[in-house]
Structure 1
Amino acid sequence: MTITTQETAAARALEALGDSRSSVRLRAALAIGTAPDPRFVDALVERCAVEPEFFVRDMLTWALTRHPASVTVPLLIRAVRSRRPQARSQALHTLSKVGDRQAWPAITGELLTDADDDVARSAWRAAVVLAPEGEESALAIVLATQLGRGDRETQLSLSRALVALGEAMVPSVRAAAASLDPVVAAHALATERLLGDPDSGFEFAIEEAKRVVALGPADGAGQ
């Protein structure tokens, strides 16, 4: 009788993941995470790819982290290869939360330079978390190619990822600071400033960097 009750509850929770009401979907994800069951993992990953509400996606990710990495990681790796940007982005985000470094080979250069900003941001965060020791400099080289990209939020995400790599980022970011593209140069200078003074804040760092770039190398040298 207990098994039947559990089976019924499981079926209801899985069905509720597709309910038209976000509150119902949220409760379903919470229930699944509270009582983890490997049978739920496929449905959770699939729902992440299409769920429109951020707070529900966040709960889906939490529910996935409650399951064994040996079960979730293979399915998440498959999802990062999806043609759907949200599927890639959410799978990468979840991999960063799971933190299993066996997923590192799935963080490809193609994902780190994905045309979709949400996917790229998720890939940057996942890469910093999952990169094995000794891979920081190589990762910084790839990330530095994205300096100057996107809006302020995207640039902040990239700067945070680079700063998380510590001193390994310096050669690549310093090279980008010499770019003839003023947007790239300013972003690189701001990122290096954040490494040395994390409390300065990105907005202050980027505005100061823009000023230095505008002044030019000779005038900005003494700033």
Structure 2
Amino acid sequence: MSVVLIGDVARHSGISARMLRHYDRIGLVSASGRTTGGYREYSDEDMRRLLHVESLRSLGLSLAEISEVIDDREFDPAIVVTRVVEQTRRQIVQAQELVHRLEGITATEPRSWDDVLRTIHLMHRLEKSDASARQRLALRTQDADQRDLPVLIDAMLREEGEDAAGALQWAIARTGDAAVPALADALGSDDPGRRRRAFDALVKIDSPAARQVIRESASHPDERVRRRAIIARAEDDEADSMAALVELIRSGQGDVDASDALAALADRTGLIDVAANVVAQALSSAEAPARRRLAAALVPYPPAVTRPVLESLLDDEDRATALTAQYVLDSHGAGESL
């Protein structure tokens, strides 16, 4: 059996002699022997134990945890590894939160430590656990310094309380177009809540730049964002949004709002015949539930435009569709249309 002195162990293992002595004091790795001069001598078994300890340390275990498991022949390594994984994940989250906070401070372009402390104070106040307290704070910051904008936007995008999010959105809207680029970026978030809160904030800003971002979202993969963007395009009298509005009616995604937006667009642009024709074309290939919605969407249009289509639906195989068509025809006879 070979033996190694503590100095040689330190040189070859990279573990300091001081740490080796500490291992000895706490009984974690003790040298099996001593020289006549009192120096520690490590046997092959001591070295194997030392390597075992260092391997466990490399996994993130504390010395107390290592001491607990190293001599337990019945312990389950999977339990230890799982515990280390969970601990490491918590550390990663904490590190990410720190980076996020530092980035938020940097985004305010601080000119002094007073600016940094002011931003940190605002961050802490916006992280209160009470949603009503966050809402009150947001209402008090509606005339906030524009340097606070990155912090306000970040807090709004994370805010799950509807009232507090709304108050933050109004505070952000008061800053105008300065918020638009960050909100446009947030529309690409993987988190649907962040996407929708960003969209709602753009709606509240309601400037040409904000509305441009909204209109460009008409093909967004998020159904709620896409639907509201299509309706926004209709409100800006973009006639090419008619087909998209009719698709919303056909699919049942906000069909009532889409029907109203389509009728209003047709009225403002004088394209009543075009709108009614787009609806009629969709009817020809729609399933029964969609046919009912599309037939109901024809209520506001002139009888002269819609009567042939509606009469063709009176014998529809879907009884509800036929009844809807009859109702629309009857309403045309009793009331006014576009």
Could you state the TM-score of these two structures normalised by the residue count of structure 1? 0.70
**2:121 aligned partner, one-letter code:** R
**SS of the residue aligned with 1:165?**
helix
Letter in 1 for 2:242: A
Partner of 1:77: 184
Q: Between Structure 1 and Structure 2, how many residues are aligned?
A: 196
Q: Report matched runs for 1:120-135 at 5 Å.
A: 120-129=226-235, 131=236, 133=237
- Which of 92, 109, 121 aligns to 2:218? It is 109
- The one of 128, 147, 160 equivalent to 1:52 is 160
Residue matched to 2:139: 30
- 2:250 and 2:282 in contact (8 A); partners too: no
Matched letter for residue 26 of structure 1: Q
- The answer to whether the 8 Å contact 2:295/2:324 transfers is no
Q: 1:6 to 1:42 in 2, by over 3 A?
A: closer
1:203 aligned partner? none
Aligned to 2:6: none
Residue 156 (structure 1) shift: 2.9
SS at match of 1:109: coil
- Judge conservation of contact 1:148–1:184 (CA < 8 Å) in 2: yes
How many Å apart are 1:120 and its aligned residue? 3.6
Q: 2:243 aligns with which of 121, 130, 141?
A: 141
Identity %: 23
Alignment match, 1:17: 126
CA contact (8 A) 1:140 1:172 kept: yes
Which ranges of structure 1 fall in alignment gaps of 5 or more residues?
197-209
Tell me which amino acid in the other structure corresponds to 1:214.
A
Amino acid at match of 2:165: R
* TM superposition shift of 1:4: 9.6
Structure 2, gaps ≥5 residues long:
1-111, 303-317, 331-338
Contact preservation (8 Å) 2:298, 2:328: no
| Residue 5 of structure 1: how far off its partner (Å) | 8.8
Alignment of 1:55-204 (within 5 A): 55-69=163-177, 71-103=178-210, 104-105=212-213, 107-111=216-220, 114=221, 116-129=222-235, 131=236, 133=237, 136-150=238-252, 154-167=254-267, 168=271, 169-193=275-299
| Partner amino acid, structure 2, of 1:32 | T
Q: In proportion to residue count, which structure has more helix?
A: 1
Whole-Å separation in 2 of the counterparts to 1:99 and 1:26: 22
Structure whose CA Rg is larger: 2
